[in-house]
Amino acid sequence: MSKKKLDELGVSAFCESMAMMMQSGIQTDEAVYLLQSEHGGGKGVLEKGLAVMKEKVDDGCGLAAAMRESGIFPDYALKMIEAGENSGRQEEILFRLSDYYADQKTIAEKLRGALTYPAAMLVLIIAVLAVMLAMVLPAFTNVYDTLTGSLAASSYRYVYWAYAICWIALVVMLVLAAALLTGIAMWKSGKREKVEAFLRKNKLCASILESMGMFRFISALGTFLASGDMQDSAMEKSMAMADYAPVEEKLQRCLKRMDEEGRSIAQTAYDEELFEPVYGRMLLAGERSGNMERVLDRLTQLLKQKCSNLVDRLVGVVDPLLSGVLMFTVGLSLLSVMLPLIGMMNSVG
């Protein structure tokens, strides 16, 4: 069993390939053999996993069991494919999983890009300020010392304002950079809840985290329902996929009302304001018309777009803010060191 897991894009590509071959009438064992032949004798994660899967399907194991033995697939995919096998909807589940993991990869890359840009801007600002303090400002100071004999004794001592401005800005930027690095380290070391609790203090960040949690939940819910699960069972299994405490708390309240009052998912979601009103009404209409799965697919796409828009909005706020800090600091510092030179020129004139 492999210790490394296949990434989202790899899982998406595998599920889509398997679904298309099964849709064409190819049996599971032959489909796995074709995929293994296509990837040759490589030593990557997928290649090793396919080798294990080939042995297991030859021994009579089903797709889900073979995938589990390979050790390269996430638990959610394994559960869904097993449910698809039991319900006879394996092809549909594989296509759904392909879309789900492709969407997860898209959003992850979007967030990574949103984090990379501010980090790059911080590095740029720190570098510019360091150059200003180490080279530019000392050069002006030496020139004024030469011209006036002593900068401290002259009427140009306000040149030191430039030093103060640059130092203050540099300290602030270093603190922000340290906070960013600390947050990333805490996120990767299993202290994600503390980072999320801090981010929730910002309304925009809280909206992004909640929208992403709802997107993951709705995607999972649609897939579980498509696999033939009952509403309460699908709800319970999908809650863990939200992976965001505030959303999970709302879902727990909905599930409790479903159990105690015998209400449907759409009714409890609307009553508990789980979604925005327009989404809640869509879900109610889908349930009443018998198009629940189609509405959930539509909601998944809408929530995905909402996540993307919110991330773009965050970048749109951070970008001009950091650029403004850079231009303001450098501009004010240069103005401070240029004013004495302008005063000299006027005196000479």
pLDDT by residue (tens digit) across 298-326? 888 888 888 888 888 887 888 788 778 77
Is 232 a domain residue? yes
Residue for token pair 């599920």:
15
Distance from C-alpha of 56 to C-alpha of 77, rounded to nearest angstrom: 18
Q: Are residues 107 and 63 in the same domain?
A: no
Distance from C-alpha of 190 to C-alpha of 166, rounded to nearest angstrom: 36
What does pTM read for this prediction?
A: 0.75
Q: Are residues 156 and 282 in the same domain?
A: yes
| Segments in the chain forming alpha helices (H) | 8-23, 28-39, 45-58, 63-70, 75-87, 90-131, 137-148, 160-188, 192-199, 203-226, 231-242, 245-261, 265-271, 277-289, 292-348
Residue-range definition of the domain harbouring residue 58: 8-73
Distance from C-alpha of 175 to C-alpha of 158, rounded to nearest angstrom: 27
Distance from C-alpha of 327 to C-alpha of 4, rounded to nearest angstrom: 45
Q: Are residues 220 and 139 in the same domain?
A: yes
Please identify, among 54, 73, 92, the residue that sits at the C-terminal boundary of a domain: 73
Q: How many CB atoms lie within 10 A of CB 210?
A: 18
Is 85 a domain residue? no
Q: Are residues 190 and 244 in the same domain?
A: yes
Is 251 a domain residue? yes
CB-side neighbour CA atoms (13 Å) of 114: 20
Task: Give residue 155's pLDDT.
Answer: 47
Using the predicted structure, report yes or no on whether residue 149 has a pLDDT greater than 60: no
| Mean model confidence pLDDT for the chain | 81
Domain count along the chain: 2
Ramachandran region of residue 128, left (φ > 0), alpha (ψ -120 to 50) or beta? alpha
Helix (H, G, I), strand (E, B) or coil at 146: helix
Q: Are residues 117 and 58 in the same domain?
A: no
Q: Are residues 19 and 164 in the same domain?
A: no
Q: Are residues 43 and 169 in the same domain?
A: no
Q: Are residues 169 and 276 in the same domain?
A: yes
Q: How many CB atoms lie within 10 A of CB 125?
A: 23
Q: Of the given ranges (162-171, 219-228, 328-337), which has the lowest mean pLDDT? A: 328-337
Using the predicted structure, report yes or no on whether residue 2 has a pLDDT greater than 60: no
Q: Of the given ranges (118-132, 161-175, 331-345), which has the lowest mean pLDDT? A: 331-345
CB-side neighbour CA atoms (13 Å) of 46: 19
The residue count for the chain: 349
Q: Are residues 68 and 128 in the same domain?
A: no
Is 87 a domain residue? no
Is 96 a domain residue? no
Distance set, CA 64 to CA 44, 60, 83, 86, 341 (Å): 21, 12, 9, 10, 77
Is 240 a domain residue? yes
**What tens digit of pLDDT does each residue of 32-77 get?**
888 887 765 557 788 888 888 888 888 888 888 888 888 888 888 8
Using the predicted structure, report yes or no on whether residue 217 has a pLDDT greater than 60: yes
Q: Are residues 144 and 232 in the same domain?
A: yes
Please identify, among 73, 93, 113, the residue that sits at the C-terminal boundary of a domain: 73
Is 3 a domain residue? no
Distance from C-alpha of 83 to C-alpha of 71, rounded to nearest angstrom: 18
Task: Give residue 164's pLDDT.
Answer: 83
Q: Are residues 58 and 113 in the same domain?
A: no
Average pLDDT for 261-268: 83
Please identify, among 58, 73, 88, the residue that sits at the C-terminal boundary of a domain: 73
Q: Are residues 180 and 57 in the same domain?
A: no
Cα angle 192, 13, 79 (rounded to 5 degrees) comes to 60
> How deeply is 289 buried, as exposed, middle or buried, from its count of CB atoms within 10 A (0-12, 13-18, 19+)?
exposed
Q: How confident is the model at residue 205 (pLDDT cuts 50, 70, 90)?
A: confident
Is 220 a domain residue? yes
